[in-house]
Structures are given as structure tokens and as C-alpha cells.
Structure 1
Amino acid sequence: MDFIERLFGWSPDDGSGLFEFLLFAIPIGGLLYLGWRKRQARQARRNRKD
């Protein structure tokens, strides 16, 4: 996972791959969080109708 180094010629994480990992992990985590919040809101609406 060193595509940043290959594309831009600089290493923000000294070659450890952490930066590239975070480029994928943060958006995926954000999508999971948004999905969880949407599910919570849907359940709250159902509970109010009952």
C-alpha cells in the first residue's frame, strides 16, 4: 500500500502504509456511522408511531 509514494514521490508516513490505510478506513467508517444513524432514526420513527 504505497501508492501515494509511487504517484507523488513523497512519503507522508515514511513508508508504513498507515496514511493509505486511513484513506480507506475513514470513509468506510463514516459510511458505517451514517448507516447506523439512519437505522436509529428509522427505529425512532417506528417507535413514535406505535
Structure 2
Amino acid sequence: MDFIEQLFGISPDGGDGSTEAMYIVALAAIVLLFTARPLLRKLAARRHD
């Protein structure tokens, strides 16, 4: 996991991959949030009906 180093030629994390891992986890959380939101709204609407 060294795509930042390969793309930009810098190593913000000293080459250990923690920055890239943080970006991947954050992106996965955002994607999960936006995909789960409509489902959670449907479930909440069913409970109120």
C-alpha cells in the first residue's frame, strides 16, 4: 500500500502504509454510510407505519 508514494513521490507516513490505510478505511466508511442511509430510512418508515 504505497500508492501515495508512487503517485506523488512523497512519503507522509515514512513508508509504513498507515496513511494509505487510513484513507481506505475513511473511504469505505463514507461509501457504507451513503449506501446504508436509504435502507435505514426505509426501515424507519416501516416502523412508523
Report the aligned-residue RMSD. Answer: 1.6
Per the TM alignment, residue 28 of structure 1 is displaced from its structure 2 partner at its CA by 0.7
What's the counterpart of residue 35 of structure 1?
Answer: 35
Distance 1:34 1:3 in 2: 25
Query: SS at the partner of 2:24?
Result: helix
Deviating beyond 6 angstroms after TM superposition, the runs of 4 or more aligned structure 1 residues are: none
Give the alignment's TM-score, normalised by structure 1: 0.71
Structure 1 gaps of 5+ residues are none
Match of 2:2 in 1: 2
The alignment's TM-score, normalised by the length of structure 2, stands at 0.72
Q: Which structure has the bigger radius of gyration?
A: 1
Counterpart-to-counterpart distance in 2, 1:3 and 1:43: 39
